[in-house]
Amino acid sequence: MTLTRLTCQSSKVQSRKPRAPLHPDARRHQLLTAATAVFAHRGYRAAGISEIVATAGVARGTFYLYFASKAEVFLAIADDFYDRLEIQIAQGGASPALAVGSPDGRAFLHASFRSWFEFFHTHRLAATVMLTEAAAIDPRFDRGVAELRRSAYTHFAARFRTFQALGMVRPSLSADIIAHLQVGMFEELVKAFVLGVDNPDLDSLAEQMADFEWNGVRPAAR
């Protein structure tokens, strides 16, 4: 899902400055990285193209070789972030079915949550921009986020049903409700403890979320 490819194709015109030998794709990436940092720290509405090119260390004209406006570079950032997030959802970690020989569901949950926290930490600037700016800028972002959430709900619900089939969690629980709880809890933890702090303890976050969830869904002791 790429928000119906909201971004426009970048121009293939090379910079005329001999001191800027970067390949067009590398230059575009440089501008996207700079714009992401500026939007994350200044906010979309307060940020200007002058700040983006200053952060990137390029001339203003170079910016327009790749993007027609501030809005277009923002859409490119969103497109890239949502593509990466969709890949993360599709990968989803190892299947609990792999743990049949040694069914340690808690360890599986820890590894899965750790992978997700790592994703948002690695892409924290883009995540900050998307979670704080996107919905207020264009309703298309709301639709994009809603579609990604549906993908996440489907993934987590299917995973929980696999746990149920293995007898690792209570069969009376609704997989759909659990999936919504997982996504909601995770989103709040990301905002408060991954994006909101400089050096998040990802292992501790994953450990606590796995412990909380696993102890809440296991079958009652016989």
- Backbone dihedral region of 81: left (phi > 0), alpha (psi from -120 to 50 degrees) or beta? alpha
**Residues 98 and 61 both lie in one domain:** no
SS3 176: helix
**Residues 194 and 168 both lie in one domain:** yes
Mean pLDDT for 177-185 is 92
Residues 217/169, Cβ–Cβ less than 8 Å: yes
Residue 44 has pLDDT above 60, yes or no: yes
Q: What is the CATH number of the domain that holds 38?
A: 1.10.10.60
Q: Please indicate, yes or no, if residue 202 is contained in any of the structural domains.
A: yes
Domain containing 85: what range? 74-217
Q: Please indicate, yes or no, if residue 207 is contained in any of the structural domains.
A: yes
Could you give the number of structural domains in the chain? 2
Q: Which of 68, 95, 121 is the last residue of a domain?
A: 68
Residue 27 has pLDDT above 70, yes or no: yes
**Residues 161 and 127 both lie in one domain:** yes
**Residues 144 and 204 both lie in one domain:** yes
**Residues 45 and 127 both lie in one domain:** no
- List, in sequence order, the alpha helices (H) in 97-201: 105-122, 124-129, 135-137, 139-165, 175-189
| pLDDT one-digit tens code per residue, 52-104 | 999 999 999 999 999 999 989 998 998 898 888 888 877 765 444 444 444 57
Distance separating alpha carbons of residues 110 and 92, to the nearest angstrom = 13
Q: Model pTM greater than 0.75? A: yes
**Residues 64 and 109 both lie in one domain:** no
**Residues 135 and 183 both lie in one domain:** yes
Q: Please indicate, yes or no, if residue 13 is contained in any of the structural domains.
A: no
**Residues 42 and 117 both lie in one domain:** no
DSSP state of 221: P
**Residue 34 burial by Cβ neighbours in a 10 Å radius (0-12, 13-18, 19+):** buried
- Show contacts of 178-187: CB within 8 Å, 24+ apart: 178/217, 179/152, 179/153, 179/154, 179/155, 180/153, 182/156, 182/213, 183/149, 183/152, 183/153, 183/156, 185/209, 185/213, 186/113, 186/116
Q: What is the CATH number of the domain that holds 82?
A: 1.10.357.10
**Residues 150 and 104 both lie in one domain:** yes
**Residues 64 and 78 both lie in one domain:** no
CB under 8 Å to 115, separation ≥6 — which residues? 88, 93
Q: 9: which 2 tokens?
A: 């194709």
Distance separating alpha carbons of residues 195 and 8, to the nearest angstrom = 29
Confidence at residue 99, expressed as pLDDT on a 0 to 100 scale:
46
**Residues 61 and 82 both lie in one domain:** no
Residues in the chain: 222
Query: What is the CA 175 to chain-centroid distance, rounded?
Result: 23
Side-chain half-sphere exposure of 212, counting CA atoms within 13 A: 13
| pLDDT one-digit tens code per residue, 113-140 | 999 999 999 999 999 888 877 767 777 7
Residues 194/202, Cβ–Cβ less than 8 Å: yes
**Residues 107 and 174 both lie in one domain:** yes
Q: Which of 53, 68, 83 is the last residue of a domain?
A: 68
- Provide the pLDDT confidence category of residue 146 given band limits of 50, 70 and 90: confident
Amino acid identity of 141?
F
Distance separating alpha carbons of residues 39 and 95, to the nearest angstrom = 37
